[in-house]
Each structure stands twice: as C-alpha cells, then as structure tokens.
Chain A
C-alpha cells in the first residue's frame, strides 16, 4: 500500500519512458544501474511489475539508511533493503548475504559504482558485482541505465525538481567461465554504457 504510493509518487515526479530489452522475469536476478541520485533505485523499483517489486531488494549503504527513523522504516519495511557497511572489514560477508538473498528467491538492485556520480561519466565498477557473480554464477545480471535523475535530485539536494526521465533495462548477461575480474567489470560497465547511449 505504502509501497504503491511511493512508486506512484516517484513516477509522478521522475517518471518518463521505460524500455525493456527482455521480458520482465520473476527468476532471481541482479539489476545493476548507474548511480547519480537517491531516487535511482526508487524509480527503477517503481518500474518493476508489482509482483516483482515485492521480491526485489535494493542493496544500500547502512550509514545512510539507518541515520533517521523514517529512513530506517522505509529501508526495512517498504523497500526491504539489504543494508551493507560501506567502510568495514567484512566485504566478504556482504557478498555472502547478497548471494543468500538470491538463493532465497529475491532479486537485487545494485549500484556497482559504489557512490553517486555527477551523471556525466559512469565511474569504474567496484569489485562487489564480480564477487557476487562468482558466489552465484548462474545469476543473470541486467544492466539498467537511468537518465536525468542527476538533474531531478542531484547530490546534496533535499527536494527533487520534477522532470521526465528515461530508464532502459538492457539485455542480461552473466559471468563467463574463467573471466578475470577486470575483464568482467569492464564488460559489465560497457554493457551499461551501451544502453545508456542508445536512443
């Protein structure tokens, strides 16, 4: 109920055109997207068919989402976010928890750049996506390009400026046997870059 209201609000403010290269599927998968705004995952999530929304969890930073009661409520009850520690020794356990979510039948939303950018360049990917793919090699990875959110709610702003956005769900890919970490991260980043540029 609250989830549907938030999804509706996100689309009223930041909605626009959405494209799917493949049909939405309820098989657990990892959506990985470029990151420029706090609204990124809300908008991506709002575009998932309703039944998939309930089974898709954003991977988010614990320090941000536990910093106020409202955020903690939204992260915990509405988005069912998988909160991870950005700075900390247990990167390993974060990957394990993500892999556990996938094997429990949930999908994940991941921002492999690790932090929000300005919207011009996609930053080099952090290694989490690679380690997760090693831990769950059968999982499909879906690149999702999100455009204009850096203008709608840029870093450091509290109120969004409503604008039309564009969200493209690209063709899925997965880890190839024997692929090195650098090759894999470059390939996944290129896949995201390619759908971002496509008109």
Chain B
C-alpha cells in the first residue's frame, strides 16, 4: 500500500469530519427559513461527499481495475443524463444503444489494456465517422446534423473526456509510480476542492456575477478565491505527485481553470434545456453530470500536459 496515497485519503477523511462538524454547528445556529434551507442543502452535499469519497476509496484500493470500473460507470450514468436532455428521436435508438453498450465499454477496455494509440482516437475519429454513418442509415434527415452532433458531443464529454481520469494510471513517468492512483486522486481532489472553494467564496463574499446569463451563482469573488485556494492546495500536495511545488501549483491552476470552464459550459447546456440539474442521483448535488462537469474538461488537459512535460 502506497504510504502517500494513504496520507491523501486520511486528509480527505479529516476534511470530511471537519465539514460534518461545521455543518452540524451551522444547522443548530440557522435561524431564518432561508438560511436553514441553505444549511440543509449544504449538509445533504456533505453526506453525499462521504458516499462519493467512500466509493472512490474502494475503487482506488482495488488498484487500476477498480478505478476503471468506477469511471466507466460514471461515464455510463453521465451519458444517460446527457441523452435524456438531448433532442434525439426514434430513429436514433440503435445508434444510442451502440454508444452505451459498445462504445463506452470499449473505451474503458482500451484504458485497461493500456492501448494509448487507439484509446486517444477511438471516439474522435472512428466513432465520429461510424456514428454519422449509422444515423444516416436510419433514413431520418429531420434535424440530422443537430442529432448527430449532440450524440457525438455527449460521447466526447461523458465518455472520452472522463476516461482520461483513470488513464492517468497508465502514464509512464520516470521515478514515479503512476499506477498507484495518486495522480488521479490529485486531479480529483484539486478539481472538486476548486468547486467547493468557489462555492464557499461565492456564498461568503460573492457579489459580482461572472456570467449572469449562464449561471447566476458564479461570481468573480468565488472564481478568484476558489481558483487561488485550489492552486495553493495543489501546491501543498506536491509530495504526492511527480511535480515540484511550483509545478504542482501550475498544474492545479490549469486543472481549476479547466474545471471552471467545464462547469460553465455544462451550465449553458442546462440553461438551454430549461433544467436546473441533470439528474437527482446525488442529493444536494443533482446528477452525476452536475458533479463531474468540471472533471470533464480538466482530465484530458491534465493528462496531456503531464504526458508532454513529464
């Protein structure tokens, strides 16, 4: 068992214990109906964080295969939520079934057998061509490009991008054991902490909205405070990565910025579809896609930048 990985996990447990205590204190002190509602939502989120952390820990402790299975399942659930809100029709049924039951498993099998060459082009090249071909064979030309593009986008976001997270375990970095899953935990910690920091700063001092037409809850104060804290957190975790503290800070900054962009893009999709959340699976958070929206954008960038420089 990797000692540094254990330290990271112990840190997560510590933070969760602390936030649970804070949540309970806030619950006792909340007076107005509005603050009680905010605190109830906060506590639902914390409870869901415990469940997510436990799931992630079990996956990490079973080695690479556990992480691959976990992220494959997340892709499946995220794509499911995405397609629910997409303007697909009866003619797309077979192509969609293929996307769920063939493309998604193959993408993760490629991670499992460490076939980087095919893993990195399966969906952007082969599926891109095959999907359009399969859809045209159904003979329905009504909004053809819109339907095709939406399904392709869903596969790119929910399957291709997410699969880069467990793919971090395959990176070949001199003098560093990527297979231990520490780099994956570093990514997940920074990206999720960045979300939490942005939320917290926004709730505490947020005033100036950063993109009022897309997401009313995102503020400049939340953005700056959240990204800065996430960068510091990343720098502070350098000992678990192949980076020195400065490089770790740079990587964390990249992860947090990409994560912010991912959250904003997914908000725009929700707004366009007229929904607040993609699903209801995670109490307080919404659906799976609401929780991993920032990971979608951060994972491939983090993977490729690390692969290029280290």
Contacts and interface: CB of A to CB of B under 8 A. Distances in A.
B84 A163 contact: yes
Interface stretch (B1-9, B45-53, B92-100): B92-100
Interface stretch (A52-60, A69-77, A154-162, A183-191): A154-162
Interface in B273-310: 279-280, 287
A163 B83 CA distance: 7
B76 interface: yes
A17 interface: yes
B100 A162 contact: yes
B126 interface: no
Nearest to B80: A162
Q: Is the interface of B mostly helix, strand, loop or mixed?
A: helix
Contacts of B97: 157, 159-161
A164 interface: yes
Contacts of B76: 162
A96 to B, nearest CB: 39
B280 A16 contact: yes
B280 A148 contact: no
Given A161-B93, A161-B96, A163-B84, A17 B280 contact: yes
Nearest to A153: B93
A13 B73 CA distance: 11
A148 B93 contact: no
Contacts of B81: 164
B90 interface: yes
Contacts of A13: 80
- Give the size range of A's interface with the partner: 10 to 19
Q: Which of A17, A148, A159 has the most CB of B within 10 A?
A: A159
Interface in B83-110: 83-84, 88, 90, 93-94, 96-97, 100-101
A162 B76 CA distance: 8
A163 B80 contact: yes
B269 to A, nearest CB: 15
Contacts of B100: 161-162
Contact of B279 (A148, A159, A161, A164): A164
B84 A148 contact: yes
Interface of A: 13, 16-17, 148, 151, 154, 157, 159-164
Given A154-B93, A164-B280, 8 more contacts: A16-B280, A159-B94, A161-B96, A162-B76, A162-B80, A163-B80, A164-B80, A164-B287
13 contacts: A13-B80, A16-B279, A148-B84, A151-B88, A157-B93, A159-B97, A161-B93, A161-B96, A161-B100, A162-B76, A162-B100, A164-B279, A164-B280
